[in-house]
């Protein structure tokens, strides 16, 4: 969410930001309306506060007279009239602020100047690692996974519906191995605090990270408690310090959390649905960082490297893609996608998306820090990225390490976790 001041003081910057995202045409009316409503709001605030000041003065005077045992009926009548007026004005102010809020919530973050303009055709591959294996003779992961008894999609659909997976036998153990491997590396080598978050969160939390109100249809909700199943650990972990003021020397903060992620995937039917590439429930290790305005840029580089490091250690060929403005997520100011090569599917699979939200998320979640003693609090910069998502990584492992006889070699780093060299 933007500071409402952008509507007053940085309107050109805002317009340009929307232009670079390619959404200026759609959002121009919203911005114009927002600008007008922002002015309206200030006029109303002045009107209300003027009357409140009068009312307060009258109340003081009433108190004084009462103490002196004097009559104050005339003042009381004045105060009552003012009260009525204030009530009306406040109602107007309320609806004006609601409208302003709606407008602000519709405007996405302004991407950094270093982010290319335009849509996904302008995405840039900025880094490549490893040699993608040729697809010839490589079976897709769903075939291999089924054959090795690791993945059972048919029975999952019986038990839960389409878009769910049973991991079984070595498949289940592989999930557990990845979990431990990811967490160990990020905690021991990259210095993250390990967090095990709740998977059900309340409405304020979902609103804090921007899942609500706009994307309520994408989330699973509980029937009786107004709780939501998290779509990513980003939600509970970023909200850890919601409504708090942190000390400057506690920054940067870095958290790594494993969680199940629950997504209805409303509207994405038919896209990447084969195998385990898009399911309603999947596992992910998420990296979350709180930074200052000064160092969030380098923090994004560090976080992205941490995620890449996992893929390198697994030996999976991958690339880093800087997303163009139009392809960058709503709240993000800059995003790198990490894509791993799946030779069986014959596609680059997004296994991580690393973003710097600048203060956009923190303003909404009200997470601040005090830069120095006696200084005014400022919003932190929040960052997050997968480190990494399990199902697509599993797909890549099953395909990249596939042997001619249908078995799959286990990447070196996973052998101690998996207790075997080969999946057969």
How far apart CA 275 and CA 326 sit, in angstroms, is: 29
Choice between 48 and 178, CB closer to RNA: 48
In the complex, the smallest distance separating the C-beta of residue 206 from RNA, rounded to whole angstroms, is 14
Active site residue 278: yes
Q: Which of 332, 352, 353, 386 is catalytic?
A: 353
Q: How many CB atoms lie within 10 A of CB 281?
A: 16
Strand order across the beta sheet in which 378-379 lies: 244-247, 367-370, 378-379
Choice between 24 and 76, CB closer to RNA: 76
Choice between 90 and 117, CB closer to RNA: 90
In the complex, the smallest distance separating the C-beta of residue 66 from RNA, rounded to whole angstroms, is 5
Choice between 6 and 256, CB closer to RNA: 6
In the complex, the smallest distance separating the C-beta of residue 266 from RNA, rounded to whole angstroms, is 27
In the complex, the smallest distance separating the C-beta of residue 306 from RNA, rounded to whole angstroms, is 32
Choice between 132 and 371, CB closer to RNA: 371
In the complex, the smallest distance separating the C-beta of residue 234 from RNA, rounded to whole angstroms, is 22
Rg (CA), the chain: 27
In the complex, the smallest distance separating the C-beta of residue 12 from RNA, rounded to whole angstroms, is 17
Q: Which of 133, 263, 319, 364 is catalytic?
A: 263
User: H/E/C letters for each residue in 357-400?
Assistant: CCCHHHHHHCEEEECCCCCCCEECEEEEEEEEEHHHHHHHHHHH
In the complex, the smallest distance separating the C-beta of residue 9 from RNA, rounded to whole angstroms, is 10
Active site residue 363: no
Q: Give the single-character DSSP code of 189.
A: I
How far apart CA 114 and CA 418 sit, in angstroms, is: 42
Tell me which residues touch RNA (CB under 7 A). 3-5, 42, 45-46, 48-50, 52-53, 55-59, 62-63, 66-67, 75-76, 79-80, 82-83, 245, 373-374, 376-377
Name the nearest CA neighbour of 354 among 340, 335, 331: 335
Q: Is the CB of residue 377 less than 8 Å from the CB of residue 294? A: no
Q: Is the CB of residue 316 less than 8 Å from the CB of residue 340? A: yes
Active site residue 296: no
Active site residue 350: yes
How far apart CA 297 and CA 140 sit, in angstroms, is: 38
Name the nearest CA neighbour of 424 among 78, 174, 101, 53: 174
Q: Which of 55, 133, 278, 363 is catalytic?
A: 278
Q: Which residue has the tokens 């385990």?
A: 276
Question: Could you tell me the sign of the dihedral formed by the alpha carbons of 221, 222, 226, 229, in that order?
Answer: negative
Choice between 30 and 75, CB closer to RNA: 75
76, 79, 80, 84: CA torsion to nearest 10: 180
Q: Which of 85, 97, 99, 350 is catalytic?
A: 350
What are the residues whose beta carbons fall under 8 Å from the beta carbon of 242, sequence distance 6 or more? 204, 205, 208, 365, 366, 367
Q: Is the CB of residue 350 less than 8 Å from the CB of residue 326? A: no
Catalytically active residues are: 263, 278, 350, 353, 392
């Amino acid at each position: 969410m933007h500071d409402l001041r952008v509507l007053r003081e940085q309107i050109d910057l805002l317009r340009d930001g929307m232009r670079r995202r390619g959404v200026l045409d759609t959002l121009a009316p919203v911005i114009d309306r927002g600008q007008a409503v922002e002015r309206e709001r200030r006029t109303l605030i002045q009107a209300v506060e003027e009357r409140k000041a009068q009312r307060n003065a009258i109340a003081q005077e009433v108190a004084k007279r009462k103490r002196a045992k004097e009559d104050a009926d005339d003042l009381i009548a004045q105060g009552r009239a003012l009260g009525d007026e204030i009530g009306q004005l406040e109602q107007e102010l309320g609806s004006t602020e609601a409208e302003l809020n709606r407008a602000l919530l519709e405007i996405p973050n302004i991407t950094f100047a270093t982010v290319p303009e335009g849509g996904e055709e302008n995405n840039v591959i900025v880094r490549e690692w490893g040699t993608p294996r040729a697809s010839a003779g490589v079976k897709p992961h769903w075939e291999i996974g089924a054959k090795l008894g690791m993945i059972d999609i048919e029975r999952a659909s019986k038990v839960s519906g389409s878009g769910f997976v049973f991991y079984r036998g070595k498949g289940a153990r592989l999930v557990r191995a990845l979990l431990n491997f990811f967490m160990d590396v990020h905690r021991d080598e990259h210095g993250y605090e390990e967090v095990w978050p709740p998977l059900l969160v309340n409405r304020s939390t979902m609103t804090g990270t921007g899942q609500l109100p706009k994307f309520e249809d994408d989330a699973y909700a509980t029937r009786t408690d107004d709780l939501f199943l998290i779509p990513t650990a980003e939600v509970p972990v970023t909200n850890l310090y919601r409504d708090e003021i942190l000390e400057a020397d506690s920054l940067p903060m870095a958290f790594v959390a494993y969680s199940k992620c629950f997504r209805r995937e409303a509207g994405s039917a038919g896209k990447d649905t084969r195998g385990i590439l898009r399911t309603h429930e999947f596992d992910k290790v998420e990296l979350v960082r709180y930074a200052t305005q000064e160092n969030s840029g380098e923090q994004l580089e560090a976080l992205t490297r941490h995620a890449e490091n996992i893929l390198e250690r697994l030996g999976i060929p991958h690339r880093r893609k800087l997303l163009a403005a139009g392809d960058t997520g709503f709240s993000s100011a800059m995003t790198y996608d990490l894509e791993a090569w799946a030779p069986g599917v014959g596609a680059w699979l997004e296994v991580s998306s690393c973003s710097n939200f600048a203060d956009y998320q923190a303003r909404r979640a009200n997470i601040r820090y005090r830069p120095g003693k006696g200084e005014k609090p400022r919003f932190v910069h929040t960052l997050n990225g997968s480190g990494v998502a399990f199902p697509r990584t599993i797909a890549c492992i099953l395909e990249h390490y596939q042997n001619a006889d249908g078995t799959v070699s286990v990447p070196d780093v996973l052998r101690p976790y998996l207790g075997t060299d080969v999946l057969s």
